[in-house]
Each structure stands twice: as structure tokens, then as C-alpha cells.
Amino acid sequence: MTYRPLADEIRPQTLDEVVGQQHILGENGLLRRIIQGGNIPNLVFYGPSGTGKTTVANLIAKRTHRPLHRLNATTASISDIKDIIGEIGTMLAPDGVLLYLDEIQYFNKKQQQSLLEFMENGKITLIASTTENPYFYVYNAVLSRSTVFEFKPLSAADVLPAIERGIRLMGERLEGEVVCEDGVQTHIAAACGGDVRKAMNAVELLLNSAKREQGKLLVTLADAQTVAQRSAMRYDREGDDHFDIASALMKSLRGSDPDAALHYLARLLEAGDLITAIRRLLCSASEDVGMAYPQAALIVKACVDNALQLGLPEARLPLAQAAVLLATAPKSNSVYRGIAAAQADVRAGKTGDYPRHLQNVHADSAGMEREQGYLYPHDFPNHWVKQKYLPDILAGTQYYIYGENKTEQAARRYWEEIKGRE
């Protein structure tokens, strides 16, 4: 008997059996209505692995009764596309073909362009899938001829029915009654990270290795925890998840939520991505805390240095300390806004000449020395004297605005008192 992976055997045969994706496949979902109508446009399915993209493509093929060709962009070439195009109009595919192109982001521009003519005349109906944002990775001309549907990660509750069904199928396959300890199914559902394929692989491995006693297959929670460990992690250092987790960490720090900050930090550390965690923490110290608590930058840098010396797993402690400090510190983005405004002016060409008294005296040519007129602030009371610093074109421009926090307001009052005396 030919071996068939459980993940393939349990693949849904109808739209009603597809787990999750109610926003597009529910009773009134647009994709469901398109499939039921039978007039299938070019489609791009975008979402994590194991969320039903390939399954829905198979169901569409059954609905349209058109030959289905599958290509994986990681291994396919233009010659593979030409072979498929060669069938069009023959007895093999008189009405065209349905092409399921998995991981389309790995096709270069030339490979994607080779499909355009046949997508245009309807001889090829393309269903492309990708785990990355198609608006970044799919050629614009292909996108303009396609409809994009996002497949969202599945919840543990979505995956649980598939796990129960997989356990029943494995029991039938192995001809034994399956007895699972409490918590086995829910642990697999939670640990698979919304990936049905991962869940089915875990179920298959657990049942194939289960102890058999008196005709019963015994599945322990300890075995389930071993099989499913770390499988909930969705992370690719080159993919969307990398940027999403980094963004979520930064926004949690900015939003003063230490619990969320620790959660996203933990996800980065579990993936072994120490550098991304460090960069976000260092950036937040100046961008989000800034002048409200200037010492935060020093403390975070010390925590980062400790983490780099310790390495993982101990590095998690100083980095967690830095995350909690930043999340609970007072916030000010006055530094961020100030430099952003200054850069905007520079990019717009608002620069002008340096005031003469700010120039480097050694820059003058021999015999052309001129009196600068620079006033040395330390020679004056309170180490300040009124003089012009900005170029004439920017006279009176204010980039830095004191934040509404104790530290910056104290500085504001200090300088207003000194400068107000002039």
C-alpha cells in the first residue's frame, strides 16, 4: 500500500470542510461566491503556511473541470511554464489550464512576465500562493490581472476539529482505539501555530510512535509536548514575520505595555534573533523615551552590552530588563520630531550659508583671514549669549519642541529664565 501523509489524506473535499477563513469562505464570503459561480478569475492567495491555500486551489480545480498543473516557484523554470503553455489548445487542454503556482515570490520578473499573455486571453487561469506580502513580491502586471485574497492564521479552536479527525483516521489506519491523555489535543492545537499541516504531522508522528496496550494506542501529554515543541513559531528572518514581530515589539514599547513588549521580545529570542531585538530596544530608547528620561539610553546600552557578552539563553534577562524599563518609562518623541523636521528642510534644499561666526577659522585662505565675530558662550553668565546659529533662510525656525514631561519642562523653564533676561 502506497504511503499517504495524513495531512494529504485529511485534506478537505468541500468548502464546508475548510477550517477557518470565514471572512472569505463563510456563507457570504466573496471567494466562496466566486468559486460557486464557476467563473474563476486569476487569483493570488496570501497567507501563512498550512492555512488552506493549496486546498482551496484543489477545490477550484474540481469545480471548473479544467486540467490543474502545479508548480513550485522554488524549483520551476521557464521551460516548465513553456511545457504547460504547449498543452493549451490541444486535446489535453482544449479550454485552457488552471495553473497553481506555489511560492510565486521566488519567480523573477521574467518568469512572471512569461505568464502575462496567456493570463490576458484566459488560456491560463493563475492561482498563485505566497507567504509574503504580494504587493512587495509579485510583479505589478501580474497583480493588476489578479484578485488578492488573504488567508489568515488559524486559531487553536479552528484547528482542533481537524486534529480530532486526524486522530480518528490514524486510529482506523493503525486498527486500534486511540486513548489520549487530557490536554493532548488542545496542546497540539495551540502549539501548531495555526498551521493544520504541522498539526497533522504531529498527530501522525504521535500515533505511529504510540504505545500499544491491549489493542489501545496510548498518547501521552509529555509526548505531545515533545513533538510539538517550538512548532508554534512562525518566523523567517527574510519574511513578513520578521518585520511584523519587530514592529509589534517597537509599538508595544512605545505604547507602554510591558507585558506585550516581553511577549514579542520572547518571540524574537525563541527564534534566536538577538540582533533585531537589540536594534529595536536601542532605537526605542531615543525615539520613544528620549528626553523624558535621557538615562534610559545609557541603561539600555548597558543591558545590550551585557546581553552580547552573555549570549543566549542568559541574554534574555538584561534584554527583558531593558524592555520593561522602556515600556514603563515616561515617553517623549520630541527628539524624533525635531530631527525629522530638520531633515525634511535639508532634503527640501533649505540650507543656506553657514553664519560667518560659526565657520572654521582655519578654512580661510592665507592672507584672507577675517574677524569671525564668534561669541564664546562660556565667557558669559550662565554660559549663554544671544547670537545667530541657523542660516538666514531658516532664521526663527523651531525644530525641537519641549515635551510635556517633567524632565523637558524643567529644562524649558531653566532656559526661559536665562534667555528671558536678554
User: Per-residue confidence at 224, pLDDT binned at 50, 70, 90?
Assistant: confident
CA–CA separation, 103 and 148 (whole Å): 14
pTM of the model: 0.56
Give the model's pLDDT for residue 289: 94
Give the model's pLDDT for residue 366: 47
Give the model's pLDDT for residue 367: 47
The answer to whether 137 and 236 have CB atoms below 8 angstroms apart is: no
The answer to whether 226 and 209 have CB atoms below 8 angstroms apart is: no
Give the model's pLDDT for residue 316: 92
Average of per-residue pLDDT values in the chain: 84
pLDDT digits (tens, 9 = 90+) for 81-121: 778 777 766 655 556 678 888 888 888 888 888 888 778 77
Residue 161 has pLDDT above 50, yes or no: yes
pLDDT digits (tens, 9 = 90+) for 249-267: 999 999 999 999 999 998 8
User: Per-residue confidence at 286, pLDDT binned at 50, 70, 90?
Assistant: very high
In this prediction, residues 261-275 reach a mean pLDDT of 87
Residue 352 has pLDDT above 80, yes or no: no
DSSP 14-40: SGGGS-S-HHHHSTT-HHHHHHHH---
CA–CA separation, 226 and 213 (whole Å): 21
Give the model's pLDDT for residue 61: 83
Give the model's pLDDT for residue 93: 57
Between 45 and 96, the higher pLDDT residue: 45
Give the model's pLDDT for residue 122: 72
pLDDT digits (tens, 9 = 90+) for 34-43: 888 878 889 9
Give the model's pLDDT for residue 368: 47
Between 231 and 125, the higher pLDDT residue: 125
CA–CA separation, 39 and 60 (whole Å): 10
Residue 236 has pLDDT above 80, yes or no: no
Between 370 and 66, the higher pLDDT residue: 66
Lowest mean pLDDT among 170-174, 191-195, 397-401: 191-195
User: Per-residue confidence at 4, pLDDT binned at 50, 70, 90?
Assistant: confident
Give the model's pLDDT for residue 2: 62
Give the model's pLDDT for residue 216: 85
In this prediction, residues 394-419 reach a mean pLDDT of 89
DSSP 167-181: HHHHHHHHTSEEEE-
Instruction: Tell me, rounded to whole angstroms, the distance of Cα 267 from its chain centroid.
Output: 12
Give the model's pLDDT for residue 322: 95
Those residues with Cβ within 8 angstroms of residue 126's Cβ, 6 or more apart along the chain or in another chain: 42, 43, 99, 101, 115, 119, 142, 146
User: Per-residue confidence at 369, pLDDT binned at 50, 70, 90?
Assistant: very low
What is the phi-psi region of residue 50: left when phi exceeds 0, alpha when psi lies from -120 to 50, beta otherwise? Answer: left
Between 277 and 10, the higher pLDDT residue: 277
Give the model's pLDDT for residue 285: 95
The amino acid at 277: A
Residue 293 has pLDDT above 90, yes or no: yes
List, in order of start, the domains of the chain with CATH numbers: 21-150 (3.40.50.300), 156-227 (1.10.8.60), 240-328 (1.20.272.10), 334-419 (1.10.3710.10)
In the chain, pLDDT over 70 holds for what percent of residues? Answer: 90
Give the model's pLDDT for residue 91: 58
DSSP 111-173: HHHTTHHHHHTTSEEEEEEESS-HHHHS-HHHHHTSEEEEPPPPPHHHHHHHHHHHHHHHHHH
In this prediction, residues 72-88 reach a mean pLDDT of 79
